[in-house]
Structure formats: C-alpha cells, structure tokens
C-alpha cells in the first residue's frame, strides 16, 4: 500500500525519521513494513540474541575491498555483490550498509582495507559494480561515507578542509560514478567538511541529489553521526540511525519553536516512505541464486585474483617435492580488518600449512610457532636447511583507529631478517590492510606476497599462488611509497579540529608523478609468472577517443595482464596531474596468445572541474595517451587531439 505524509500524525512523522532501534526502521506498531539493515562490506554482520546475550550470526567472510579492487576485474565486484545479496536474503536483511568508497588519501587510515583505491575512477567503478551486484538480488545498498572521511582519527569532530576542485575531482568523483548504479541509500559520514557537519551539509546533499543521484534518494546517518536533528532534517538527511531519544526530542522541540516546518519534515518522510515501500515491494522478488559452497568458491576466486606478488627472484612458484618451513604465529590464525565490517566466519578458516600441504602433497612442509621469549630459535632451526622459508606477518587494521606506523612490528622485521640470514630463499607473506614500508628487509628476501585480508578462503588462494596452481594477476590499487614521510598528506596541517587537504589533487600516484619521487611499488604494480608485451597502439578521435593495442603473452604459461590507460593534457592553462587513470582492461591470455584490446574514452574522460566556470570543462588540444602495466611502467604512448 502506498502512503503519503498525510496518512500520519505529526508524532508518527517524527518517529519515521528515526530508527526503531539499531537495525530497523520504525514500523509504527505494524502499520508499515519494517526495514532491516546490516553491516558490510566484507560480509553480512547481522546481530542476534540468545539467552539475553548478543552475538553475530555466522556469515561468509569475503576478501576486503582492498583485495577485491586488486583483481582489477569489476565483474568480480558484481559477483561478490550477487553473493552478498544471497547472504542478505538468507538472513532477512533488506539493506546492506556498503560499499565504502572513500579515497585512500593516507596509508595511515585504519579503515583503508574497507575502501577500494587512492584513485577516484577505479574506486567509483568497483563501487558501482558492487552495488549493481547486490541490488540485482532485490536487496538494497548504502553507499558510504559521504564524504571526505579519509582518516579515523577524530572522525566525530574533525573538519576536512578541501578546496572545491579537489573535492569534485578526487573525493566526490567515486560517489558520482557509484551513483550510476542507483544505490537504495547513501550514508553520511561523521566528520565536518569545510566547517559544516556532514549530517547537516545541505549544499553537499543538494549536489548529491541534484547531479549524481535521484531527488528522492534517501540519505541516512552513520550510526550516531547526528548532533542537531532539526538541522539535519532541514539539510535533507532523512533517517537518523540508530534510534536516539535525544534526537527525537530535539526534533519535537525545534518544531514547537517554529525552527522547522511540517513541510520540511514531510519531504524527508516522503523519501523514507518510498524506501520502506521499495523494500516491501522487492522482498517477494528475492531468491537465493548461489549455494553457500558456490559463494565460498567465488570468495576464493576473488582472493586468487586479488593477491599481489610484489617480489620474486625465481623461488616462486614452489615445486612439489620441496621442503618448506612456515614461521610466525600469524600462519596459524585468520586475519581480517576489525570494526563494524568484521564478520563471524561461516566456516573455520584453514591454516596456510594445511592448504599448502594440499597443494604440494609430495613436499615436506612444517610450521613452527616462533614466539619464545625474545628469541625465534624454533623458526630459525626449522628454516635453516629447507628449500624455502615462509614468514607470515599480519596485523588487523580497524575502524576507529588509525595505524601507528607503516612499518611491520619490530619483532616481525627481526624475524624476517634473521630467517633470511638462515635461508636466502625466504618468502614474506603480508596480511595487512594498507601499504607497508618494506624498506628494512625487502632487499634481504627472495619473494614478497601481499595477501591482505583475503577472506575465509584466503589461505586456499594463497597456497594456490605459492604453489603455482594460480598464476598471480593482482595489482596494487594504492602506492607503496618508501616510507610514511613520502606521502604529501602526512605533511599537511592537522590539528584536533582540522585536517587540511593542502596537497589538493596530488593524491597517491598523482603526487609521486609530479615530484618525480621514487616509490617502493607503484600504483597498478603486480608481478606474474607470465610475461607480456604491448604493441601497435592506434588512436581514433571523434567526440571522444577510441584506442586499440595488442597484448601478447610471450611466456610458456597462461596468465592475465591488466592494461591501464592514463591521460595527460600536454599544454594546460590550469594545473593537471602528470597522468590520470581513465580506463583499464584485464586480459587473460594462453601461452603465446595475442589479443587486440579496444577502449573507448568519452569526452568526459578529458574533463577537469573549473571553479571559475562552476562546472566540468574539456579543452580542445593535444592529450597524451599512456598505456601501461602500472603507473610507472608505460609501454605505449600516443597523442589524441580533441
């Protein structure tokens, strides 16, 4: 049944703009459908209660957004979305509070593992396909956190001070792209932007609904983000979550004082009603499409394609029949990020020792816990006479806290160095949620694998990469610089109340390109067991540009390469980055196979935001087209004239 605000009393309207509790919308005693929401994006974290105690229902734990984006395969983001919709349907969830699309401005953000990239285009594309996948199952999403929430430190009170062009091109762009998928809701962030609390940010809400999304799109608060409920209603924030008695009383009092009108309340009520009716209408259409085992297999595939091989002197892949030691306590535990996205796994994750034995059944594989007071003698003894030694290092980044350092913990670095001294074929596996400073030990080891938070089937995927069953194809979606001090964001002004984005557009590779500063591993970097060559770039111009080129696998085994297309305006009267990612294509090739890749770039790909003209502008002139295997490894160059 379709309702309008006229069907409700003023008090009922007040209640409709507040959650019924932490996870449900108000149903007015059964008068309306009750919408159930649940945390994401790494799985469905639905709370339950038994014997008066709260717990989370077990759920499939998928690889983090960081690992998902490192596949460079948007179709896998869609697949993960489909799987999550099945999980939601089984748990009777109407809206999944995901995905997070905030930019990795700094490697120190404790929540980077939940976000896709330092690049706004790539982040937006992955979020868009994730949303489409979830909503294909008639389950809604909540695109978050709108906007400029790029650190956890002081997120409840810090003002992100960002100039208009930077806001448009870097921090709003992924929301703009993701909104092409029409998320059911958008969630506001805790922080302030340019001195105005996001829950009350009428100008940005107006921009969101007016340019990116629908006029009737529902904006919800992050949990506890509202300070002045009446002000947030006037700004256009529709639903405060969770239920807040003080928020309800604030709204009543403001109305009584004439500070907010019933017309303003009705606009929010109308949007909330539309959301409730949408969920009620779509619930009968929901049907589980994949079994749990099929979803676990999808999670494993994402991990296999998202694990990044950072260094390899030839020790990998391991050959069956070898002897391998696995050291560090981290080899015996499951790693995922902490906070609201952490789920209770559906199955008990297997250890790396178990999965590697399954991959290499004729090999001698042994694991040793290494913490023995201040020494690591078990690990060294185990590693010394082996063909290879694996050292597993891990740390759980988390919502609510920023990282203290890019370095590994001191005992981990010491373990790596001492193991490498005992065995030159030392392989380091990293379970971290963001960029790592590998400087103290990288030159001493034979191989480095960045596994991230790869989900509950992560060790199956990791063992596949180590054994060679899986040819690694993952590539970084953030820059691994030489140190924390290398990032411009780490030198920007920051106080208890203000975070100044003084680096402007120079975020991630855009900054390192401009300063010509060396990095440890560039944006887009990742090794393979195969080798690829690029050739024959051809460019045609129309309103936009069509380019084609060839990629050939010149090795003896099948593999996949990611072609990354960057643009550079050759003579701009305004500041433009040295290059900007505008397209990418992942290509799978058999041994010796060659394929032609064709990419179309619309005119919008060449645009910059003109503050003086109040909109996007494309200048006529010459643009360099750069086709690379990563941001530094540019294989082909050409010029297009618009």
> Residue 330 sits in a domain of what CATH number?
3.40.50.1700
Q: Is residue 452 part of a domain?
A: yes
Model confidence pLDDT, tens digit, residues 502-549: 999 999 999 999 999 999 999 999 999 999 999 999 999 988 999 999
Whole-angstrom distance, CA of residue 222 vs CA of residue 203: 18
- Residue 568 is encoded by which pair of tokens? 């550079």
- Same-domain check for residues 576 and 430: no
Q: From its phi and psi, is residue 575 left (phi > 0), alpha (psi between -120 and 50) or beta? A: beta
Q: Is residue 306 part of a domain?
A: yes
Q: Is residue 566 part of a domain?
A: yes
Domain containing residue 637: CATH number: 2.60.40.10
Q: Is residue 148 part of a domain?
A: no
Residues in contact with 505: Cβ distance below 8 Å, sequence separation at least 6, in sequence order: 165, 166, 169, 170, 575, 577
State which residues form the domain around 598: 530-641
- Same-domain check for residues 485 and 590: no
Q: Is residue 275 part of a domain?
A: no
- pLDDT at position 419 is 93
* CA-closest candidate to residue 517, choices 490, 493, 485: 485
- Residue 482 is encoded by which pair of tokens? 């030489």
Q: Is residue 431 part of a domain?
A: yes
Considering 430, 460, 491, which residue would you say is the last residue of a domain?
491
- Residue 606 is encoded by which pair of tokens? 């060449």
- Same-domain check for residues 469 and 592: no
CB atoms within 10 A of CB 592: 12
- Same-domain check for residues 373 and 464: yes
* CA-closest candidate to residue 499, choices 170, 192, 113: 192
Q: What is the pTM of this model?
A: 0.97
- Same-domain check for residues 480 and 538: no
What is the tally of structural domains in the chain? Answer: 2
- Same-domain check for residues 318 and 449: yes
Residues in contact with 73: Cβ distance below 8 Å, sequence separation at least 6, in sequence order: 305, 586
Considering 435, 462, 491, which residue would you say is the last residue of a domain?
491
Residues with catalytic function = 222
- Same-domain check for residues 335 and 468: yes
Q: Is residue 139 part of a domain?
A: no
- Same-domain check for residues 484 and 545: no
- Same-domain check for residues 387 and 477: yes
- Same-domain check for residues 448 and 560: no
- Same-domain check for residues 480 and 555: no
Q: Is residue 226 part of a domain?
A: no
Considering 491, 520, 552, which residue would you say is the last residue of a domain?
491
- Same-domain check for residues 479 and 374: yes
Four-residue CA torsion sign, 107, 104, 587, 74: positive
- pLDDT at position 329 is 75
- pLDDT at position 635 is 98
> Can you list the residues of the chain whose pLDDT is less than 70?
369-379
């Amino acid at each position: 049944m379709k309702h309008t605000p006229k069907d409700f009393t003023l008090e009922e309207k007040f209640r409709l703009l507040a959650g019924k509790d932490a996870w449900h919308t108000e149903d007015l005693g059964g008068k309306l459908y009750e919408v159930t929401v649940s945390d994401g994006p790494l799985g469905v974290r639905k709370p339950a209660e038994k014997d008066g105690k709260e717990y989370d229902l077990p759920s499939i734990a998928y690889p983090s957004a960081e690992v998902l984006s490192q596949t460079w395969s948007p179709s896998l983001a869609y697949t993960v979305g489909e799987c999550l919709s099945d999980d939601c349907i089984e748990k009777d969830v109407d809206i999944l509070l995901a995905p997070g699309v905030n930019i990795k401005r700094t490697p120190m953000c404790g929540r980077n593992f939940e976000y896709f990239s330092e690049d706004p285009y790539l982040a937006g594309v992955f979020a868009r396909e994730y949303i489409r996948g979830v909503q294909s199952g008639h389950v809604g999403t909540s695109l978050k956190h709108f906007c400029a929430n790029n650190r956890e430190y002081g997120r409840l009170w810090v003002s992100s001070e960002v100039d208009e062009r930077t806001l448009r091109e870097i921090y709003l762009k992924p929301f703009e792209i993701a909104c092409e998928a029409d998320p059911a809701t958008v969630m506001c962030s805790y922080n302030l932007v340019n001195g105005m609390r996001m829950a009350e940010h009428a100008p940005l809400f107006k921009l969101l609904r007016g340019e990116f999304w629908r006029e009737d799109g529902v904006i919800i608060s992050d949990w506890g983000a509202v300070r002045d409920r009446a002000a947030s209603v006037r700004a256009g924030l529709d639903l405060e979550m969770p239920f807040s008695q003080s928020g309800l009383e604030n709204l009543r009092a403001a109305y009584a004082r004439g500070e907010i009108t019933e017309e303003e309340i009705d606009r929010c009520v109308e949007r909330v009603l539309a959301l409730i009716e949408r969920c009620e209408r779509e619930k009968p259409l929901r049907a589980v499409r994949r079994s749990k085992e099929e979803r676990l297999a999808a999670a494993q595939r994402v991990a296999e394609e998202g694990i990044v091989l950072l260094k390899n002197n030839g020790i990998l892949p391991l050959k069956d029949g070898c002897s391998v030691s696995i050291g560090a306590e981290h080899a015996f535990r499951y790693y995922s990020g902490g906070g609201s996205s952490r789920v209770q796994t559906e199955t008990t994750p297997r250890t790396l020792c178990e999965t590697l034995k399954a991959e290499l059944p004729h090999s001698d594989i042994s694991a040793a816990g290494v913490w023995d007071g201040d020494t690591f003698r078990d690990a060294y003894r185990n590693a010394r006479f082996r063909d290879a030694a694996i050292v597993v290092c891990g740390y759980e980044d988390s919502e609510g806290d920023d990282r203290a350092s890019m370095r590994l913990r001191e005992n981990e670095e010491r373990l790596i160095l001492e193991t490498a001294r005992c065995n030159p074929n030392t392989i380091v596996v990293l379970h971290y949620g963001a960029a790592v400073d590998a400087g103290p030990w990288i030159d001493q080891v034979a191989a480095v694998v960045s596994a991230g938070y790869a989900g509950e089937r992560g060790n199956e995927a990791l063992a596949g990469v180590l054994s060679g069953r899986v040819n690694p194809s993952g590539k970084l979606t953030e820059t691994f610089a030489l140190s924390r001090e290398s990032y411009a964001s780490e030198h920007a002004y920051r106080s208890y109340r203000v975070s100044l984005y003084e680096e402007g557009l120079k975020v991630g590779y855009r900054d390192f390109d401009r300063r010509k500063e060396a990095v440890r591993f560039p944006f887009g970097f990742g090794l393979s067991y195969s080798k690829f060559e690029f050739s024959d770039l051809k460019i045609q111009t129309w309103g936009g540009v069509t380019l084609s080129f060839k990629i050939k696998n010149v090795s003896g085994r099948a593999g996949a390469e990611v072609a990354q297309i960057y643009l550079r305006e050759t003579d701009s009267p305004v500041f433009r980055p040295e290059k900007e990612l505008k397209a990418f294509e992942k290509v799978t090739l058999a041994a010796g196979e060659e394929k032609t890749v064709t990419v179309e770039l619309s005119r919008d790909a060449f645009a910059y935001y003109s503050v003086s003209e109040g909109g996007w502008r494309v200048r006529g002139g010459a643009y360099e087209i750069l086709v690379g295997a990563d941001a530094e490894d540019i294989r082909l160059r050409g010029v297009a004239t618009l």
